[in-house]
């Protein structure tokens, strides 16, 4: 039997892993559950990703693009006359008001780095990438503080069920920026 050429298989496996984690959490992720979700042979998942950590790294890298893309695409943040705290608060609110499952999934994968050291460099890359975007508007240390604050606000909204308060976010971000 000849092998079927399937150049999209690796991506389908990553997408399937993200769906599995979205439905069942990290604990529900296995090569078997991903293979079934992606409709590929079990051997395909282990061929492309020898370990679950390798698969989680790929999934986290893809999921991490969400908020960073939103920040990078926001034209007001590159406008020198823009009110940065107000714009960041608005962007954060739009992101949190979007696909809630996607936001929760992104954080679940991000926080999996607490127990899976292989994920830590990818989680750090996310924070560094967003800080680099924000550093064009402030100094690098303040940009990192902004990322920490944005992260904290997101976690509070996700974990407590308290609605996002754009006014609070704007004020807190303004304080970090000295405004």
Residue-range domain boundaries for the chain: 9-59, 64-176
pLDDT at position 92: 92
Query: What torsion do the CA atoms of 139, 145, 148, 153 make, to the nearest 10 degrees?
Result: -110
pLDDT at position 147: 93
pLDDT at position 1: 42
pLDDT at position 3: 53
Q: CA-to-CA distance for 95 and 118, rounded, in angstroms?
A: 27
Cβ atoms of residues 58 and 129 within 8 Å: no
Fold for the domain defined by 64-176: Tetracycline Repressor; domain 2 (1.10.357)
Do the domains spanning 9-59 and 64-176 agree at the CATH topology level? no
Query: CATH assignment of 9-59?
Result: 1.10.10.60
pLDDT at position 4: 66
Please identify every stretch of the chain with a pLDDT value under 50, giving residue numbers as ranges. 1-2
Q: CA-to-CA distance for 142 and 130, rounded, in angstroms?
A: 12
What letter does residue 162 receive in the DSSP assignment?
Answer: P
pTM of the model: 0.80
Which residue is listed with tokens 């990322």?
Answer: 147
- Report CA 154 to chain centroid distance, whole Å: 11
């Amino acid at each position: 039997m000849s092998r079927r050429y399937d150049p999209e298989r690796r991506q389908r496996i990553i997408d399937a892993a993200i769906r599995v984690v979205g439905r069942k959490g990290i604990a529900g992720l296995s090569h078997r559950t991903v293979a079934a979700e992606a409709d590929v042979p079990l051997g395909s998942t282990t061929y492309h990703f020898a370990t679950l950590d390798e698969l989680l790294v790929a999934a986290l890298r893809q999921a991490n693009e969400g908020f960073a893309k939103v920040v990078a695409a926001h034209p007001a943040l590159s406008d020198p006359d823009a009110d940065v705290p107000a714009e960041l608060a608005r962007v954060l609110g739009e992101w949190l008001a979007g696909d809630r499952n996607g936001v929760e999934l992104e954080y679940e994968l991000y926080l999996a780095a607490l127990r899976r050291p292989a994920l830590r460099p990818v989680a750090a890359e996310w924070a560094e990438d967003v800080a680099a975007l924000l550093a064009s508007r402030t100094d690098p240390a303040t940009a990192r503080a902004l990322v920490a604050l944005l992260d904290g606000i997101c976690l509070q909204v996700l974990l407590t069920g308290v609605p996002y308060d754009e006014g609070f976010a704007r004020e807190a971000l303004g304080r970090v920026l000295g405004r």
